[in-house]
Structure 1
Amino acid sequence: MDTDYEQITYRVDGRVAVLALNRPEARNGFTVQMSHELADAFERADADPEVRVVVLTAEGPTFCVDADLAAGGGKGQGFTRTDDPELAAAAAEGRYQEPAGRVTSVMHRMDKPVIAAVRGAAVGVGSSLLLPADFRIAAEDGKFGFPFTQRGIVPEGASSWYLPRLVGLGTALDWMISGRIVPAAEARAAGLLTALHPAEEVLPAALELARTLAARTAPVSVALTRQLLYRMAWADSPEAVHRLDSRLIHDLTRGPDAVEGVRSFFERRDPDFPGRVPADLPDYLPWTAEQA
């Protein structure tokens, strides 16, 4: 278990990195410090060539009950209002990143798939953190919600971009304008959640899925497919997508991962793909300059 962090835990189990919010005494209330630690841990896992999949979870029975408003005044904690002129200037100039967005922007840029394993309530930032995950596995008695209008603020973490793409605009309007609590069954039916399990089975199910992905999928292919979906699924036309996937298909079918994929299929065994992320990603991806 890694000890570099104070408000989260980080461990690597085989080819799976497990990140857990670790303030169970505060029901994992979100803080500025936690946002910095989560962003660092996601970047760390993404840069580790031995890690294939990341699981995001939390210690204790509750995932996250939103920002820890009671933590204001503690070092690196809370979201109390300040009159810092430098911060105000940074916000006005577009240089400020609010804490949830600091994490979700890292998750969006990742080349590794993320599985969220959620027990109990995930409200406010607790729900926002789930949206850039590729799979969201939750407890049958879980609760979700985006209560920003009830706090006099707006959705954070780019959740107003992610949520409509998962559940549709009409449902996103309902949930975000009302700020109401959404039970797990409704969230699953709307498309927010991938699967529901009894609370004690949520993390084991997430880890089983992570190990399956790590064993059967090619890291380079997963990274490219994830980013094609996130960055090009809403392109103005399919032409730009077709140009890029044509080049990728040309190059990848001539590479060692495709050879191993075909060979393992005919030999009826799990593949051992040689490609590694990020080292073996193509250097001509159109979003590479955007991340520089």
Structure 2
Amino acid sequence: MSVPEFEQITLTLADRVLEVRLNRPDRMNAFTPVMRTEMVEALDWAEANDDVRVVIVTGEGRAFCAGADLGGAGDKPFSYSGDGMRNDRSDADEIAGLPRDGGGVVTLRLASFPKPVIAAINGAAIGVGITMTLPMDIRIASTKAKFGFVFARRGIAPEAVSSWFLPRVVGISQASEWALTGRVFEADEALRGRLVSRVVEPEDVLPTARAIAREIADNTSGVAVAATRRMLWSQLTQDDLWETHKLETQTIAALKQGPDAKEGVASFLEKRDAVFTGRLDTDLPDAVPDWPVRPAAD
């Protein structure tokens, strides 16, 4: 199946795993309004495509993403005022009467994306280059990768909804140290702080990400994975255990009526590989909450 072609990212689909490669190596894959729009369009396409079970995001060349392109070579530069983020797409609309933060447009689309996303961080991931990965489900880093939540050193505050995601991913104390100092740190510190789950040699970053993607794509129900992903994230702010208990009860009951639960049990009893046929558009239980829920009006 052919995949869309873009200017600043490239897509490769093989065996139900879609690889999204940030592709501005001459600028260390720095983030631009064009890249923002293309990332959203790629995720829209991947969500609607049943042949995509898992997405891997990585960078071309020696960097993952060196942050916002403040120089603007070959593209309109990123503007912290929001001017550089305007275009005619609905994903660039306003919030609180201001153009939406471009990094937040991408991270909120990733957050609502129902399929697993793995970050294969092959090099520098600075500013939006690391905050865009926070709603991704798994982060694998090269030993050569560097990280930095550098916003305070640029005179601005955290973006891309990272003031929500980062403390939930690594805890408030670690998030505070990294965000308040704005310093750049190495992959081993990222691993100790649980920002990434594995650090591997540079040549092993993509193979490791692909192996995890294969494990998901080959062995799990896409409907069950989508339900699980939404439940895990949405319940981070749930303070009533009974509400979570109700959600799980309703979701399990609904999934048992669908094809994948029946196939999962049958394949186990028959000692064979499962062949899951459930579809997100028809079999995802209504009880599974939409997340994040966009406000009706600001």
Pairwise same-fold verdict (TM > 0.5): yes
> Partners of 2:57 and 2:281 in 1: how far apart?
20
Q: For residue 264 of structure 2, what is the amino acid of its counterpart? A: G
Question: 5+ residue gaps in structure 2?
Answer: 88-92
Match of 1:217 among 217, 220, 223: 220
Following superposition, the deviation at residue 101 of structure 1 comes to: 0.7
What is aligned with 1:6?
7
- 1:114 aligns to 2:122 (yes or no): no
Q: For 2:280, what is the secondary structure of its paired residue?
A: coil
Correspondence for 1:287? 290
The residue type paired with residue 116 of structure 1 is: A
Residue type matched to 1:146 in 2?
Answer: F
Note if 1:140 corresponds to 2:143. yes
Distance 1:82 1:44 in 2: 26
Q: Is the 8 A contact 1:32 1:78 kept in 2?
A: yes
Look up the match of 1:53.
Answer: 54
Offset, 1:162: 0.7
Shift of 1:91: 5.5
TM-score for both structures, normalised by structure 1 = 0.92
Deviations 1:200-254 (A, max 9, x none): 1101111111111001111111001000010113202112111111111112123
Provide closer, same or farther for how the CA distance between residues 7 and 230 of structure 1 changes in structure 2, counting only shifts above 3 A: same
Aligned with 2:6: secondary structure?
A: coil
Task: Report the secondary structure of 1:278's partner residue.
Answer: helix
CA pair 17-174 structure 1, distance change in 2 beyond 3 A: same
Counterpart of 2:20?
Answer: 19
* Cα drift, residue 52 of structure 1: 0.7
* Contact persistence 1:32–1:79 (CA under 8 A): no
CA contact (8 A) 1:31 1:79 kept: no
Alignment of 1:153-172 (within 5 A): 153-172=156-175
Matches for 1:200-239 after TM superposition, within 5 Å: 200-239=203-242
CA contact (8 A) 1:2 1:9 kept: no
One-letter amino acid of the counterpart of residue 78, structure 2: G
User: Which string of whole-angstrom CA distances, capped at 9 and with x for unpartnered residues, describes residues 53-90 of structure 1?
Assistant: 11111111110111111107x54443265779x99xx7
Amino acid corresponding to residue 43 of structure 2 in structure 1: F
Letter in 2 for 1:153: I
Show the 5 A alignment for 1:174-193. 174-193=177-196
- Taking the aligned partners of 2:143 and 2:280, their CA distance within structure 1 comes to 34
Are the structure 2 counterparts of residues 144 and 237 from structure 1 closer, same or farther at C-alpha, using a change threshold of 3 Å? same
1:78 aligns with 2:78: yes
- Does the 8 Å contact 1:128/1:157 carry over to 2? yes
How many angstroms apart in 2 are the aligned matches of 1:196 and 1:250? 39
Quick check: 2:32–2:75 contact (8 Å CA) kept in 1?
no
Matches within 5 A, 1:84-99: 93-94=96-97, 96-99=99-102
Give the aligned residue type for 1:290: V
Residues 288 and 139 (structure 1 numbering): CA distance in 2 closer, same or farther, change over 3 Å? Answer: closer
- Cα 1:123–1:267 change in 2 (3 A) is same
**Structure 2: how far apart are the matches of 1:129 and 1:41?**
15
Structure 1 residues 49, 76: closer, same or farther in 2, change over 3 A?
Answer: farther
TM, length-normalised to structure 2: 0.90
Q: Is the 8 A contact 1:219 1:275 kept in 2?
A: yes
Contact 1:49 1:278 in 2 (8 A): no
Percent of aligned pairs with the same amino acid: 42
Please state how far the C-alpha of 1:10 moved relative to its aligned partner.
1.2
Please give the residue correspondences for 1:118-129 in structure 2 after superposition, counting only pairs within 5 Å.
118-129=121-132
Q: Assess, with a 3 A threshold, how the Cα gap between structure 1 residues 212 and 289 changes in structure 2: closer, same or farther.
A: closer
State whether residues 142 and 200 of structure 2, in contact with CA within 8 Å, keep that contact through their aligned partners in structure 1.
Answer: yes
Structure 1: gaps (5+ residues): none
Partner of 1:44: 45
